[in-house]
Each structure stands twice: as C-alpha cells, then as structure tokens.
Structure 1
Amino acid sequence: MSVKMRIGLLFSGALFLVAIAAWIYQLQEGLILTNLQNSYSWGLYISGLAFFVGNAAGGLVLTSSIYLFGVKKLKPLAKLGALTAFANVTAAMLIVLPDIGKPIRLYNMLLHPNWMSPLVWDVIVLNLYALASALYLYILLLPELTGRLAWLAIKVDDPQAFSERWAKRFAPVALVFAIGIHVVTSWIFSTQGARDWWFSPVMAPDFVSVAIAVGTTVVLLAAALAYGTGDSYQEAYRTLGLIIFMATCVHIFLMANDLVIHAWYGNTEAHRIMEIAWGNFGLAHLFEVAAPLFGAWLLMRPQVLSSLPRLLLSSGLLIAGVFVHRFLIMPAAYNNIPMTMTPFGLPDSHWSLPIASGRFLPGMSTFIDQYGYFPSLVEIVILLGIMAYAVFLILLAIARLPILSKERI
C-alpha cells in the first residue's frame, strides 16, 4: 500500500468518525441542531441523498453498458464503475438516517409501510441496487479471487468464462436497476403536486441524465487517480468524456425546458417560483448551469484528459455544479408556500399564508412565509463525513481487492 493510499485512508476514515460523533450528538439533542424548519423540512441531507444516488446510478449504467453493448475499450474500468456505484448507494442510505431524526422511525416504516409513498419504494430500490452493484462487482472480481482471496470465490470450472457469461446476462438487469433508482428518487419530489417547482414530469429524465453525467465523471476521476493519464487509457477517457458531455447537454436542455414552462404560465405562483430561483439564488443557478457545462466541455479536450491536475479540476468543477444543482432543488419549492389567500379581494394578488416555524426565538416571529435556509455546522460535518465514507470504501477496496485491471487497453 502506497503512502498516498495510507494518507487517503487515514484522512477519510478520521473524517467519517467525526461525522459519526456529530450524528450521535444530533441523536442526543434532536433535529433542533439542524437549521431546518416546519416550512423547510428537507435540506442538506436530502440534497446529499439525490447527489449520492446520482453518483451511484451513473457508475452501474457505465459498467452494465460495457457488457451490454460490448464496449471493450472501457472493460478495465468496469470494476471501478461497480465499486463506485456500491460506495455511493450505501452513502445515500447512510445520509437518510440523520434526516429522519431517530433510526427507530425507519424501523416503523418497515413495519407499517405506506405503499402510496415514493419514499418507501425508494428505500426498497436503494437496497436492491446496493445488492445488485455488490453482486455485479463480485461477478467481475471472480476470476481474480485467488491466493489469499480464494476463500471468497465460488467453485466453478472456468471462473473467467463464468464471469464473462454472467456479466453479460446481468447487464440488462443492472441497467434497469441503475435507471430505476434515479427515477424512483425523482418521484419523491415530482409527485408532490402542491410544490410547483417539483411537480413536473421532466424531473425523472433530468435526474437520469444528471446521474449519467456525474456518475461517469466519478468513474473517470477514480480511473485517472488509479491508472494515471498515460496514452494507453486515453481512448477510454475520451469515450467517457463524450458520454459526460452528451449527458450534461441533455440535462441542461431538460432544465431549461422546465424553466421555460414554469415562466410561461404568467400566473402569480409561477412568478413567485422564478423570483426565488433567479432573484434570491441567481448566481447559484448560473453556477449550476455553467460549471457542469464548462467542466464537461473541458473533459472532451485531449490536453485536459492527458493532464491529471487539469482532469481533477475539470471533474471537480462538474461535480461541484451538480451538487449545487441538488441543493437548489429545495429553496423554490419550500419558499413558495402552497397555501395562499387573495388579499382584499384583489384577483391578481396572492399572499402566502404564514405557517409556524417550529421554533421560538425572542424578538422574532414564530410564523413565517419565507425562510433563508443554510445548513448548520452539524449538517455540513455529517455530509462531509459520509462523502469521506464513500472515498474510504473505494480506497480500501482498491487496496485489498483486485479492483484495478492488469490488462492494458
């Protein structure tokens, strides 16, 4: 194990332990440690859920496509794709725990599921996807489970042929799971008819396009760090760069299409949504559009793909833009209170009905119709720690398992 690998494991492991301590502190004190309100019940944790699910879905889409469509030049990256998928989907499941407050609530949901709630189906899909990505990774690893790892391998006559055969057979199933996990997650938002910002059929395909873009970027980033940026992998990296750029363009189109439809209504509710989105968060929205698009364009350029610092910077720019996009799912939905009244009988005016914030602060009103949410330190530490968990798991698997392919592209 290299010195850099040890440092990465120690740093990510330590940060994850800090996040566990922060979560225990939150369990003791309650969700009051977050900056969430009655009117703003989803924040950084749910943004993190959407972010991790996207990373996970894109990883298995790439891996299954390699075997489904026979893209041989990407084959050495297949195990990395399955590994990043598993790491991110387990991170997505972990980030839900601090959001529900007490873990016993998850147990209650399992005992008494509300089948009309997309959240129940999302929990099911997340667990099935984690199982599918772990199983796919095992199938790909099987031929190389020898020596000290031989006890992990099932007994078959020809492990290489068995692995190839079942990787192809399982590819369509894995692809369906990869797309399904993001579609179901998007339904958590888009089925809420009272939230005009979310209530759109465009959200599901947009989530899938973002997942392909950011998930492939995560695989490209992991591959560049593991294999380097030498000439032998440039063809594979160029293919990934093209996939990332095309998926990002589809995402930008779908997002722009949804914004135009919202703006076209011309009614008070639509104006309120656009005022929040572009008035209060205008610069952030420009970043969520420009950063992924510019990052994806850079990842198509050979001089970027052949330079590790440039590749890291471009990938980081795209991932940061996607994370801001996930964070901005919330403000325009929650600050447009769905209950309104017409003041003084004026037909063209609507006022949001103030609702209880759930907090009592001296000198401040208990009732609000808008809330400037920003995550608390506890929320930020927990999210960063779960990101560190995903990094730790990937590094540990690379160090202990034959994840990196010995064959050259």
Structure 2
Amino acid sequence: MNDLPKQKETNLSFEKIKKDILHPMQNHKGLELWIVFLITVISVCGWAYYIQLKDGLGVTGMRDYVSWGLYIANFVFFVAVSLVGMLISSILGLLRIDWITPISRIAEIIAVAFVAVAGLVIVLDMGRPDRVLNVMIHGRFQSPILWDVTVITTYLTVSALLLILPMIPDLAICKKELTKASPIMKKLYNILSLGYINTPAQHKHLHKMIRTLMVLIVPIGLAIHTVTSWLFAATLRNGWDTTIFGPYFVAGAFVAGSAALIIAMYFFRVNYKLQDYITDLQFDKMGKLLVAVCLVYLYFNLNEFLVPGYKMKTGDDIHLKELFYGNWAIMFWASQLLGNIIPIILLVNKKFRKPLPIMIISLFVLAGAWFKRYVIVIPTMLHPHLPIQNVPENFVHYYPSAIEISVTVLSFALVLLIITVLSKIFPVVPIVETAESKGIEVKIEA
C-alpha cells in the first residue's frame, strides 16, 4: 500500500470539474451580444480597409520616409504577445511546473489568435495584397521578409497543434456531455476527439506527441521574434543598428505575453466563474514571472540606450535626444515607467499580485508594450542619415490617419473575436489535466 501514489486533497470531483468548466460554454449570458459587437466593429473598420484597398496607401499617414507606420508597430506587438504560448505551455511545461495547468490552454488560445492576426496585419500593410503569394513563389533566401513569413506560418501551425492535441481528451468529454450543442459542433467534437477513450496506449502516445511539440515550438518561438527583430537590425539606421535586437525582442515579447495572459486569466475567472481553478495562486505565480521577465527586459533596455548614449555618435545623438527629452519623450518614458519599472516595484509586494490589482497593472504593462513598439518603429524612420529637406510638410512628420487607426482597431477586434469564439467552443481550462493534477480518477466513456 505504501507504494501507491497519494491523492492530493481536494473538495472537487470529476463530475464537478466537468460541470464547472463546461457550463459557460452552453450558458453564458451576454457572450452572443459581445460577439455581435465585435463583428460590427470589424465590419465598420473593414470598410476603412476597403477604402485603403481602393485608393491606395496614400490614404494613410505613411510617406516616403515613414514607410512603416502604425501597421508594422502593431505587427511587432502581435508577434510579441503570441510568444506567451511558448513561454507557458512549452518552457514551463517542460519544466513540469504544475501551477500552469489551469492557464496553459488560455495561453495557447492567445498565441493562436495573435500570431494568426499578425500574419494578416502584414497583408493589411501591403498596397497590393493580391501579390502576397509572390513572397513565397519568388522569395529569395537573402530576404529577412521571407524568413519572417516562414517562421510565422510554422509557429501558427505548431501553436494550433499544441492547442488541439492536449484538448483531445476534453473534446471526447464534450462529445458526450454537451447535449445542447449544435449538430455541427457535435460533429466537430467527434472528429477532433479522434475516438479517444483514455486507454493506456492512447494516453502514452498522446503525451509523447505533446512533449515533442513542446520541444519543437521553443526554437520556433525564439526564431519568430528573433527574425522579426532582424527586419530592423539588418539595416544601418540609428536606433536599429544593434546586435542585441534578437534577445531584446524576445525578452520584450515575454513581458507583453505574460501581461496579456494575466488580463485574460482575470476575465475568464470572473466571467466564466472559474475561481476554483484559476486561483490566487496562479495570479501570484504569474506576478512573480512578470517581475522576472520585466527585469530581464529592463536589462536589455539599459543596454539599448546606455551603449550608444556613451559613444554618442552624431546619428545616435539626434535619435536619443528626441527620445529622452524631445518630441517622443512622453511616449518613451511612459512606456518605460508605466510599462516596466513601476510594475516591477509594485509586483514585488504580494498584495499587488492579487487578481484585481495585477490585472490593472498588466493593462499598463500591455499598453506600455504597444507604445514601446511604436517608439521603436517611427522615430528611427524620421531620423534618416541624410536630412529630410525639400519635401512637403507631411513628409517631415508622421501621424496615423483615421483609416490607419480604423484598420488597426479591426486587427484588435479580430484577435478578440478569435479568442471569444475559441473560448466558446472549447473548454478554456483543461478538464482531464486538472483532474489528474488533483489526483482525481478520470473516466471517459466510449
């Protein structure tokens, strides 16, 4: 008897776990209204994109000098947030950190939504999106853009698999338990569950595939943001001409992704009534993780500005002065203080790692992460090596047009719609993994 593993003490049963996690999927008041709102926003902003498509990129604020504007800043931000799937599900999963079990699927949903729309944002930035396939058909290996398209597509594919495969046991439960589901959804659950009934052989093979994907996605996840950083660093422009952009972007991605996950955790916990599963422990641990990645990111920020600031070459001098106390100072210092330094100071204190305070702090961190990408892209393009002269006034400055802002809102609404739909049709907290982590016997009927 002493050789048998001890079950963890819990007030939960397998039936209660199933009921708690599946209930919001069939009975969630207001979710349909939220989906209608998002579709309305997408439709209205889609009209703005139609105008851009019809009249060309001249309707945006982008000109000869700032040819990468709001869209590319948004693209880098979306790629950054998507890295949370690799951080939580893979790195911490491979380390067998057990507290991530209730939130790992939320992280993967966020990853899939953001990386899918990140690829779309590139298309939205193109004046001739009908030629997008030429990137693959006539792509050159020397082009960092081809590398970016390749790693984004690969990361999206592996992230989708890493979302679906661990969900197979839960989908087998959904097939039986969600009696009110539509015939289409029942068929979907039947197809995706692959006849899983939790036999020892099935359990072994499934976990082997999942661990293989967890290992595989780590280099892919690192590559996606490293290659994105190379789109900037492989130039001689002041502000981008640095060798640390690869790890610097990866560190910043962990910050943005962790903040996005904490915000999602809070809203799922409250709206789906999952307090028994997404507990204060998860928020406390995520708060500590956010402090850790913020400290690493702070280190890279010091490197990014201290080294060129010490040497103060002519181009760097103009660029840094504009950031520190020039036209971009408010946005720059807001992103540094509100998005990094102050959150570190607050989250060291345990009382700020409670659900509501840490969610509010994460909102500032996520907003700071977005503004940081904007500051990375725009000021550097406004500081070319040769002076900007003998051009119209609107070439000297960059302000996003109403069309650009609307298309950017479209991309955010699309991300939220994907997350909402995925959380509506799939359990956001793993049923079987949660039961197993609490030592509860799992039974899946054929």
RMSD: 2.1
- Distance in 1 separating the partners of 2:251 and 2:215: 18
Shift of 1:22: 1.4
1:230 CA displacement? 4.2
Partner of 1:281: 328
* Range with bigger deviation, 327-336 or 89-98: 327-336
Alignment-mate amino acid for residue 272 of structure 1: I
Distance 2:338 2:206 in 1: 39
- Which whole-Å CA distance do the structure 1 matches of 2:203 and 2:402 have between them? 49
Q: Structure 1 residue 355: deviation in Å? A: 6.8
Alpha-carbon distance in 2 for matches of 1:282, 1:383: 23
| Residue aligning to 1:244 | 290
> Is 2:280 the counterpart of 1:234?
yes
Contact persistence 1:50–1:326 (CA under 8 A): yes
Give a deviation string over 1:166-217, Cα, whole Å, max 9, x none. Answer: 2222211111111111001000000112x02101111111110111111122
SS of 2:30's equivalent? helix
* % identical aligned pairs: 22
- Aligned residue type for 2:315: E
May I ask how many residue pairs the two structures share in their alignment? 385
**Which residue pairs with 2:222 in the alignment?**
179
Is residue 262 of structure 1 aligned with residue 308 of structure 2? Answer: yes
User: Is the 2:84–2:257 contact (alpha carbons within 8 Å) kept by the matching residues of 1?
Assistant: yes
Verify: 1:198 aligned to 2:240, yes or no: yes
**Residue 335 of structure 1 corresponds to which residue in structure 2?**
382
CA distance, structure 2, for counterparts of residue 390 and residue 301 of structure 1: 32
- The structural deviation recorded for 1:297 is 4.3
* CA positional deviation for 1:153: 2.2
Any idea what the Cα deviations from partners look like across 1:226-268, whole Å, max 9, x if unmatched?
1248476222222211111111111122112111111122332
Aligned match of 1:24 in 29, 35, 50? Answer: 50
1:306 has 2:349 as partner: no
1-structure distance, mates of 2:132, 2:211: 35
| Counterpart for residue 45 of structure 1 | 71
* C-alpha separation in 2, matches of 1:170 and 1:405: 18
Residue in structure 2 matching 1:163, options 206, 209, 233: 206
Superposed displacement of residue 385, structure 1: 1.3
Give the deviation of 1:19 after TM superposition: 2.5
Q: Extract unaligned runs of 5+ from structure 1.
A: 340-351, 357-363
Shift of 1:89: 0.2
Deviation at 1:299, TM superposition (A): 4.6
Q: Distance in 2 between matches of 1:287 and 1:106?
A: 36
Asked which structure has the greater RCO (Cα within 8 Å, sep 6+), the reply is: 2
> What is aligned with 2:31?
5
SS of structure 1 residue aligned to 2:376: coil
Secondary structure of the residue that 2:288 maps to in structure 1?
helix
Q: Using structure 2 for the length normalisation, give the TM-score.
A: 0.81
SS of the equivalent of 2:312 reads: coil
Q: What is the aligned partner in structure 2 of residue 359 from structure 1?
A: none
SS at match of 2:133: helix
Q: Contact 1:39 / 1:355 at 8 angstroms: preserved in 2?
A: no
- Find the counterpart in structure 1 of residue 61 from structure 2: 35
For residue 131 of structure 2, what is the amino acid of its counterpart?
A: R
Which one-letter code corresponds to 1:38 in the other structure? D
Whether contact under 8 Å (2:109, 2:163) holds in the other structure is yes
Cα separation, 2, equivalents of 1:231 and 1:241:
19
Which stretches in structure 2 are left out of the alignment for 5+ residues?
A: 1-26, 176-185, 439-446
Structure 1 pair 365–151 and aligned structure 2 pair: CA distance change class (3 A): closer
The answer to whether residue 109 in structure 2 is matched with residue 83 in structure 1 is yes
Q: How does 1:293-372 map to 2 (within 5 A)?
A: 293=340, 294-299=342-347, 301-308=349-356, 310-339=357-386, 352=387, 354=389, 364=392, 371-372=396-397
Query: Contact between 2:280 and 2:355, CA under 8 Å: does it hold in 1?
Result: no
Q: Report which stretch shifted further, 107-116 or 208-217.
A: 107-116
Task: Write the distance in 1 (CA, Å) between the matches of 2:66 and 2:429.
Answer: 44
Q: 1:103 aligns with which of 129, 141, 145?
A: 129
SS in 2 for 1:25: helix
CA contact (8 A) 1:143 1:160 kept: no
- List per-residue Cα deviations over 1:38-85 (Å, max 9, x = no partner): 011001000001000000012222111232110111112111111110
Task: Report the CA distance shift for 1:399/1:298 in structure 2 as closer, same or farther (over 3 A).
Answer: farther
Find the aligned partners of 2:390 and 2:206 in 1 and give their Cα distance. 57
TM-score by length of 1: 0.88
2:192 is aligned to 152
The equivalent residue for 1:221 is 263
Alpha-carbon shift at residue 332 of structure 1 (Å)? 2.9
Aligned residue type for 2:79: V
Q: 2:432 matched to 1:384?
A: no
Asked if the contact 2:84–2:108 (Cα under 8 Å) also holds between the matched residues in 1, the reply is no
Give, in whole Å, the separation in 1 of the partners of 2:344 and 2:287.
7
One-letter amino acid matched to 2:191: W
CA distance in 1, matches of 2:418, 2:262: 17
Which residue number in structure 1 is paired with residue 318 of structure 2? 272
> Alpha-carbon deviation of 1:16?
1.9
* C-alpha distance 140-274 of structure 1, shift in aligned 2 (>3 A): same
Q: 1:118 aligns with which of 120, 144, 169?
A: 144
After TM superposition, the runs of 4+ consecutive aligned structure 1 residues lying more than 6 A away are: none
Q: Distance in 2 between matches of 1:3 and 1:116?
A: 52
Instruction: For 1:331 and 1:98, locate their aligned partners in 2 and report how far apart those are by CA, in whole Å.
Output: 18
**Quick one: which amino acid aligns to residue 389 of structure 2?**
P
1:57-68 aligned within 5 A: 57-68=83-94
Equivalent AA in structure 2 for residue 246 of structure 1: A
Q: Which amino acid aligns with 1:82?
A: E
Residues 372 and 236 of structure 1: CA distance in aligned 2, closer, same or farther (over 3 Å): same
TM-fit CA distance, 1:154: 2.4
